[in-house]
């Protein structure tokens, strides 16, 4: 199996099955009986992330919408956004959002303006560390 070009996410489900239910397929006597049962099933789901061949984290600002787009190959779990003035002093605000490859989103309570620069802290899961990137908004309104 070759790695994908972009990170791929799959959901895998696990469901508990009793031994009687599992083995009843070959038991002809149990198949003919009719019973009514009410129960609660718990089904566990796990997300499985498949790393791309070349991991690249990249966010771009889209002036026409005021949104950001992930034009890289891995998901970017944003942890903080810094609004930086021309003197490079930043005010950091905690955020919790994930931007998947080729997806576009807004950052809640952030309005981009041309006089500021924006920095994003995110967890790079392929390198197992927090990283920071600059998100220029020079074309902002």
Q: Confirm whether 103 is domain-assigned.
A: yes
Question: Distance between CA atoms of 129 and 96, rounded to whole angstroms?
Answer: 16
DSSP string for residues in the chain: -PPPSS-EEEEEEEE---HHHHHGGG-HHHHH----------EEEEEEEE--SS----EEEETTTTEEEE-SSS-EEEEEEEEE-TT--EEEEEEEEEE-TT-EE--TT----TT-EEEEEEEETTTTEEEEEEEE-TT--
Return the pLDDT at 10.
84
Q: Are 72 and 110 members of one domain?
A: yes
Range of the domain at 120: 59-134
Q: Confirm whether 141 is domain-assigned.
A: no
Return the pLDDT at 4.
87
Q: Are 77 and 99 members of one domain?
A: yes
Return the pLDDT at 109.
86
Q: Are 46 and 71 members of one domain?
A: no
Q: Are 37 and 101 members of one domain?
A: no
Could you state, in chain order, the average pLDDT of each consecutive group of 10 residues for the chain (141 residues)? Answer: 84 76 60 57 80 92 89 95 87 94 91 85 94 74 51
User: In total, how many domains does the chain have?
Assistant: 2
Answer for the pair 95, 19: CB distance below 8 angstroms, yes or no. no
Q: Confirm whether 140 is domain-assigned.
A: no
Return the pLDDT at 13.
82
Q: Confirm whether 119 is domain-assigned.
A: yes
Q: Are 85 and 40 members of one domain?
A: no
């Amino acid at each position: 199996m070759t790695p994908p070009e972009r990170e791929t996410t799959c959901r895998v489900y696990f469901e508990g099955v009793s031994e009687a239910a599992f083995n009843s397929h070959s038991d002809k006597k149990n198949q003919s009986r009719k019973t009514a049962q009410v129960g609660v099933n718990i089904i566990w789901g796990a997300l499985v992330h498949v790393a791309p061949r070349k991991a690249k984290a990249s966010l771009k600002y889209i002036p026409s919408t005021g949104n950001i787009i992930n034009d890289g190959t891995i998901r970017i779990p944003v942890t903080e956004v810094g609004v930086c003035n021309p003197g490079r002093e930043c005010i950091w605000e905690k955020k919790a959002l994930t931007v998947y490859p080729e997806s576009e989103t807004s950052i809640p309570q952030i309005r981009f303006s041309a006089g500021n620069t924006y920095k994003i802290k995110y967890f790079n899961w392929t390198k197992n560390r927090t990283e920071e990137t600059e998100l220029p908004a020079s074309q902002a309104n």
